[in-house]
Structure formats: structure tokens, C-alpha cells
A and B are shown apart, each in its own frame.
Chain A
Amino acid sequence: DTAVSQTPKYLVTQMGNDKSIKCEQNLGHDTMYWYKQDSKKFLKIMFSYNNKELIINETVPNRFSPKSPDKAHLNLHINSLELGDSAVYFCASTSHSLSYNEQFFGPGTRLTVL
């Protein structure tokens, strides 16, 4: 039983395409995040949703749009993909009842833009 799952695990696509990555958590958490692992291996936060409301929106191109249909899901849609979007994207979740927002991570989605 995977706590935080992401689909797909690998995504290879052409420049200019539009693609989505899905994230689901079955932990009953109220907050979800998207991170991008950059070329220097840092995990950088992109977005966060709490109870379907956007609470963190870092300086991310507006080609990236998160969508949270319910508390258990946070999807990431990317329009007009560029080469620089190639990275590993991680979803995470937490609950405000947990100790200092301890976050649980998904396995990552490796996106390759050709």
C-alpha cells in the first residue's frame, strides 16, 4: 500500500507538448506539495495546496499549473514543455496535526523532454 504515489514514473516527450503528472496520497493528509529536483540535485518547492487551496506558489513559469480536485490528489499540468523542464518531480504530503509538518514523499516522476 503506497502512501504517496505518482504516475507516471517515467515520462519522455517532445518539446512543445502538454503533459500531466498525477499524485495521490492515502494518508488522510490535508496538505500536498510539488518539488522539482534541479540539475544540482536540490529539491526545490514549486507549489503547495492545503485543503484544495493554493498556499505556496514559488516563482515557477505559468506553463506549470497545479490542480487539486480533492485533498488526496494534487496533479501537475505542464504546457508547452521545454528542454529545461527535464527533471525529477516529487510530490509530498503532510498534515498540520503532524510534528512540524513532517512530509511524506512519493517516488518521483522522471520527465525527459527531447
Chain B
Amino acid sequence: ILNVEQSPQSLHVQEGDSTNFTCSFPSSNFYALHWYRWETAKSPEALFVMTLNGDEKKKGRISATLNTKEGYSYLYIKGSQPEDSATYLCASSHGSSNTGKLIFGQGTTLQVKP
């Protein structure tokens, strides 16, 4: 059974703090790692897709890194703002002929206090 684990489960920070969370995924037969941002009462929205070991992606104040050999990815938020409050999901996919089957972690819920 393939499991994806995220930590911490929840996080409360002050506006302006930088923060990071972890996603651990099975390294065997790895295909891609996805990060999604999920605001309450909305649909999950894709942030990043990463595939190569050592990949780093950045979108504004949010960045992510990928280590496929040890099976982890970090998501960083620099200078958190209240609008960053959301649940951040990671998901991995595996196999050479990818069907798009994503295995999701439980998410890290971030609350940024003004």
C-alpha cells in the first residue's frame, strides 16, 4: 500500500513569519509530485508539479523542493500573509505508464494570523 504523509497536520503562524511543511512519499517507481492549495469552500488548486530529483519550483512567495531518492518534498512560504491560510495538499503518482492516479496526503492546514 502506497502512503503519502504530510507534517505538521496544522500550523498557526503570525503574519510575516516564514514557514515550511513536509511531504513524504514512496520513492519506488516515482513519477511525479503535486502540490495543491485548498481554501475552505473552494476546489483544490494546483501549485506545482515536480518530477526530477533536485527540482525546485517557485510561485511568488511559495516555493517547493523535491528529493525523489529519499522520498520527500518541502513547501516553503516566505513572509506568510492571511490570504495564505489554506490546506496544502501533496500527492504523488507512480509507474511508468502513468494513469494519473494520485495518492494524496492528509494535508497541512495553515492559519496565518494578522
Interface positions of A (Cβ within 8 A of B): 4, 31, 33, 40-45, 48, 50, 55-56, 90, 94, 96, 99-108
CB within 8 Å for A107 and B49 given contacts A43-B89, A48-B99, A100-B31: no
Inter-chain contacts of B99 with A (CB < 8 A)? 48, 50, 55-56
Closest-CB distance, A3 to chain B (whole angstroms): 9
Interface residue count on the B side (C-beta < 8 Å)? 25
Asked if B43 contacts A108 (CB within 8 A), the reply is: yes
CB within 8 Å for A100 and B44 given contacts A41-B107, A43-B89, A43-B104: no
Nearest neighbor of B98 in chain A, beta-carbon distance: A101
Within 8 Å of chain A (Cβ to Cβ): is B79? Answer: no
Asked if A42 contacts B43 (CB within 8 A), the reply is: no
Which of A90, A103, A106: most chain B Cβ within 10 A? A103
